[in-house]
């Protein structure tokens, strides 16, 4: 059993590095490649919007497939999708290829999150799951931080298409590692097909409080975060190099504290960990509201990095806590991602309008929503304590 566990975790760790690298390349350089082949900003934005829509409608199928088809087949499919998202624009120079690549990337990203969560929860003990999640996320974030600077040099030497092709080959090779993971016995028998898929969309009663928190959090972040860099450049008049340093500081803080955050979540529970995440996020955005220079912005980004580090393991453990059975974790992940993605769809557009009308307003609303979440989580925590006391008496 221990050997099976270590094999599976080793494969997930290796894939986390490969996927972090590939994700960074797609997010940083696929838009630039699109512009090089004649796409405008509106066209690239349309590609991302289509990818989001495809993902939302695919999430129930992803969760169902993880629970019924198995973890290993889903992991293989997800890895191949990531490889194809790089291979397609490398071999076909067209706008359509870039659009399909975005959709494949988003499908791969969310299916990876679901299957990774299901595998870790199935294999790990309740006292170590958050630490494992944090370790895998650290490897992913580390690769994502390092990749852009190195790949940028490679692209300047060999071009986009050769670089995309080479990285896609590494992902294809990575998919072979999945054969090391021992096969599993699927306990769930499902004869209802798409009827079961459709029924899996409906949130369970015990999930509604968590889904509310996740939706508020996602909307609050998407209201201001996607346009933070333009805000820093236009309204605070920071140089591009400084803005790049700020982005690195957020990632660096997250990487440096993820494993500690995971261990903390194992000790204090996901609810308290998520509460701390919301408090740090509220402090970070509040500091950005009053920031007029680099010093306060830097301090704000440290709080935001800490918030992200605390959020990652607490989110994964929270999903497992509301899943009806270990065999239903995939569907629970899908519902959570579908609901919070749907909730955040209009947020960037609204944030853009608000930034134009009053630049600090998106940050103010974001701070208020995070404070609201902190209040909800605090109330939930108090109710749990009262419930435990009543059971003792």
**Structural domain range at position 173:** 1-180+192-197
Task: For the chain, give the number of residues.
Answer: 393
236 SS3 class: coil
Where residue 291 sits, what CATH number does that domain have?
A: 1.20.1250.20
Query: Are 133 and 253 found together in one domain?
Result: no
Residue 115 confidence (pLDDT): 86
Residue 391 confidence (pLDDT): 47
Query: Are 41 and 173 found together in one domain?
Result: yes
Query: Are 283 and 370 found together in one domain?
Result: yes
Query: Are 165 and 312 found together in one domain?
Result: no
Query: Are 370 and 238 found together in one domain?
Result: yes
Count CB-CB contacts under 10 A for residue 66: 28
Closest CA to 105 of 151, 154, 60, 51: 51
The answer as to whether 33 is a domain residue is yes
CA 273 distance to own-chain centroid: 17
Query: Are 316 and 208 found together in one domain?
Result: yes
The answer as to whether 147 is a domain residue is yes
Residue 382 confidence (pLDDT): 82
Query: Are 208 and 171 found together in one domain?
Result: no
SS (H, E, C) 99-127: HHHHHHHHHHHHHHHHHHHHHHHHHCCCC
Residue 194, classified by CB atoms within 10 Å of its CB into exposed (0-12), middle (13-18) or buried (19+), is exposed
Query: Are 176 and 207 found together in one domain?
Result: no
The answer as to whether 187 is a domain residue is no
What pTM was computed for the model?
Answer: 0.72
Q: Give per-10-residue mean pLDDT for the chain (393 aa).
A: 74 92 84 82 73 80 74 90 95 93 91 84 76 86 81 85 94 90 61 57 79 94 82 81 77 87 90 96 96 92 95 88 71 82 80 83 96 94 66 50
Query: Are 105 and 245 found together in one domain?
Result: no
Residue 187 confidence (pLDDT): 54
Residue 377 confidence (pLDDT): 94
């Amino acid at each position: 059993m221990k050997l099976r566990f270590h094999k599976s975790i080793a494969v997930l760790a290796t894939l986390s590095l490969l996927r972090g690298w590939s994700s960074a390349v797609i997010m940083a350089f696929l838009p630039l490649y699109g512009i090089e082949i004649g796409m405008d900003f509106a066209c690239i934005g349309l590609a991302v919007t289509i990818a989001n829509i495809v993902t939302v409608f695919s999430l129930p199928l992803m969760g169902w497939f993880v629970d019924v088809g198995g973890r290993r087949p889903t992991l293989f499919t997800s890895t191949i999708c990531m490889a194809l998202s790089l291979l397609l624009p490398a071999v076909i120079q067209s706008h359509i290829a870039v659009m399909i690549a975005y959709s494949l990337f988003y499908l791969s990203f969310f299916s990876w999150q679901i299957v990774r969560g299901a595998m870790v929860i199935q294999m790990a003990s309740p006292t170590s799951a958050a630490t494992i999640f944090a370790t895998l996320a650290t490897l992913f974030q580390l690769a994502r931080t390092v990749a852009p600077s190195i790949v940028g040099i490679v692209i300047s030497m060999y071009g986009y298409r050769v670089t995309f092709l080479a990285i896609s080959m590494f992902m294809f090779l990575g998919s072979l590692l999945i054969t090391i993971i021992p096969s599993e016995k699927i306990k769930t028998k499902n004869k209802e097909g798409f009827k079961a898929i459709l029924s899996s969309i409906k949130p369970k009663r015990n999930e509604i409080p968590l889904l509310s928190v996740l939706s508020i959090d996602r909307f609050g972040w998407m209201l201001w975060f996607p346009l933070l860099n333009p805000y820093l450049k236009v309204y605070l008049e920071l140089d591009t190099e400084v803005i790049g340093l700020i982005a690195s500081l957020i990632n660096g803080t997250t990487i440096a504290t993820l494993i500690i955050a995971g261990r903390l979540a194992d000790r204090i529970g996901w609810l308290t960990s998520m509460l701390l995440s919301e408090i740090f996020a509220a402090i970070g955005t509040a500091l950005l509201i009053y920031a007029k220079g680099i010093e306060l912005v830097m301090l704000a980004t440290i709080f935001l990095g800490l918030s992200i580090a605390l959020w990652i393991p607490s989110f994964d453990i929270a999903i497992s806590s509301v899943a009806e059975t270990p065999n239903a974790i995939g569907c629970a992940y899908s519902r959570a991602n579908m609901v919070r993605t749907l909730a955040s769809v209009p947020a960037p557009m609204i944030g853009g309008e608000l930034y134009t009308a009053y630049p600090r307003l998106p940050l103010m609303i974001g701070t208020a929503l995070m404070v609201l979440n902190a209040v909800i989580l605090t109330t939930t925590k108090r109710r749990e304590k009262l419930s435990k006391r009543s059971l003792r008496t």
